[in-house]
């Protein structure tokens, strides 16, 4: 991980060295992102498997969007810039594959909530809505100062959504 982060930083300073190994900056960012995402996903699965309670699992699942994963966020921002400015099928396929993985993880959390009678059956239909809400929140916090306390504000928004999806206890 450190080697690739150093390569990324060096890409800004000494391009000749890095281009012995990579064709361009986009390839460096892509390789680093691959490695960091893999590590992040392993950590995410480990955390989720240790937690009881659907709301707590949702918080853990979404913590990337408001916590300080600075290394991953820096690379993710570069990735977004590249995919928004350069039509790169490999990166779009990578993003699509990963988004589907995250949709599946989130959907499984919601299904678990339904199975445990904690969430309404319809909660599963909100998989993409919840994910897109979190991703939008992340982007908002990266480009504005709208939220004074992003972590708390995200948790409050997630709690609102959770309460909408929670099964009535009657």
Q: What is the pLDDT of residue 147?
A: 82
- DSSP classification of residue 102: H
The per-residue pLDDT for range 125-142, each reduced to its tens digit, is: 999 999 999 888 888 887
The per-residue pLDDT for range 73-82, each reduced to its tens digit, is: 776 777 777 7
The residue ranges of DSSP E strands in 37-157, in sequence order, are none
β-pair partners for 166 = 119
Looking at the predicted structure, is the pLDDT value of residue 146 above 70?
yes
β-pair partners for 119 = 166
Q: What is the pLDDT of residue 28?
A: 75
Query: d(Cα 44, Cα 24) in Å, to the nearest integer?
Result: 30
CB atoms within 10 A of CB 43: 13
Q: What is the pLDDT of residue 13?
A: 46
Residue range 7-23: average pLDDT? 57
* Two tokens, residue 122: 């319809």
The residue ranges of DSSP E strands in the chain, in sequence order, are none
Q: What is the pLDDT of residue 1?
A: 43
Give the residue among 42, 9, 154, 26 at the shortest CA–CA distance from 80. Answer: 26
């Amino acid at each position: 991980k450190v080697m690739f982060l150093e390569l990324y930083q060096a890409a800004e300073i000494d391009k000749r060295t890095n281009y012995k190994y990579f064709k361009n900056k986009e390839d460096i960012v892509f390789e680093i992102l691959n490695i960091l995402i893999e590590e992040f996903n392993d950590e995410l699965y480990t955390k989720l498997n240790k937690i009881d309670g659907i709301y707590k699992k949702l918080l853990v699942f979404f913590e990337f969007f408001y916590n300080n994963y600075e290394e991953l966020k820096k690379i993710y921002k570069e990735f977004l810039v590249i995919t928004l400015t350069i039509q790169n099928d490999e990166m779009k396929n990578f993003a699509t594959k990963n988004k589907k993985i995250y949709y599946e993880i989130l959907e499984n959390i919601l299904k678990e909530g339904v199975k445990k009678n904690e969430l309404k059956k319809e909660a599963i239909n909100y998989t993409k809505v919840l994910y897109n809400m979190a991703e939008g929140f992340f982007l908002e916090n990266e480009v504005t100062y709208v939220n004074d306390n992003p972590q708390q504000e995200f948790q409050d928004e997630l709690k609102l959504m959770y309460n909408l999806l929670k099964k009535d206890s009657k």
